C-alpha cells in the first residue's frame, strides 16, 4: 500500500498516534491501528486512554505510560521534527503501565494482548490490520461466521 503524506491534524487529538504528534509526514495503517486501540480501551473503560488538552500534553501522557522513545525503543524517533531532546525521559518496564490501566480487561488476556500490540510506540511494531482481525480476541466472532 502506498504511503501518503498528511498533516498533523489527521486524527482527533486523543486518538492521534505518536508519530503524527511528533511531526512525521508519512501515513501508514499504523496510525489507524493506534486510533483503534485508543477506541477499544475507551469502549471498555468509558474514558479515553490518553486525554491531553494539547499536542504536547497528549504526547507526554503517551510517553509517561509507554516510555519516552529512544533509538532502542523506537528506531528513528529522535529524527522526527517535533521530537525534542528536552522532553522528560520516562522509563517504563515493557507494557506494565498500560496493563495496569486495563482494569476492565481483567480476566480477558486476549483483550490486553491485542491492545498492547496496537499501542506500540514504533509504528512498524504495531499489529497489522490483518493480524488484529485474526487475533484470538475475536475468536467468538470467527466461530459465529458460519
For the stretch 54-84, pLDDT in tens is 999 999 999 999 999 998 889 999 999 999 9
The mean of the pLDDT values for the chain is 91
- DSSP type of residue 53: S
Rounded distance between C-alpha atoms, residue 33 and residue 17, angstroms = 9
Residue keyed to cell 480476541: 137
Return d(Cα 74, Cα 137) in angstroms, integer.
Answer: 26
Domains of the chain: 4-143 (1.10.510.10)
Cα gap 7→139, rounded to integer Å: 36
State which H helix or E strand residue 97 sits in: helix 96-101
State the pTM of this model.
Answer: 0.89
Amino acid at each position: 500500500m502506498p504511503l501518503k503524506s498528511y498533516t498533523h491534524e489527521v486524527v482527533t487529538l486523543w486518538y492521534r498516534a505518536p508519530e503524527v504528534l511528533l511531526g512525521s509526514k508519512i501515513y501508514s495503517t499504523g496510525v489507524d491501528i493506534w486510533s483503534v486501540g485508543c477506541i477499544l480501551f475507551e469502549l471498555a473503560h468509558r474514558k479515553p486512554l490518553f486525554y491531553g488538552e494539547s499536542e504536547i500534553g497528549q504526547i507526554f501522557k503517551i510517553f509517561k505510560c509507554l516510555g519516552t522513545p529512544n533509538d532502542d525503543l523506537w528506531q528513528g524517533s529522535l529524527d522526527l521534527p517535533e521530537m525534542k531532546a528536552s522532553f522528560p525521559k520516562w522509563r517504563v518496564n515493557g507494557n506494565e503501565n498500560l496493563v495496569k490501566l486495563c482494569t476492565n480487561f481483567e480476566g480477558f488476556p486476549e483483550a490486553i494482548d491485542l491492545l498492547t500490540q496496537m499501542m506500540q510506540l514504533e509504528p512498524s511494531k504495531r499489529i497489522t490490520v490483518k493480524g488484529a482481525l485474526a487475533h484470538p480476541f475475536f475468536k467468538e466472532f470467527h466461530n459465529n461466521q458460519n
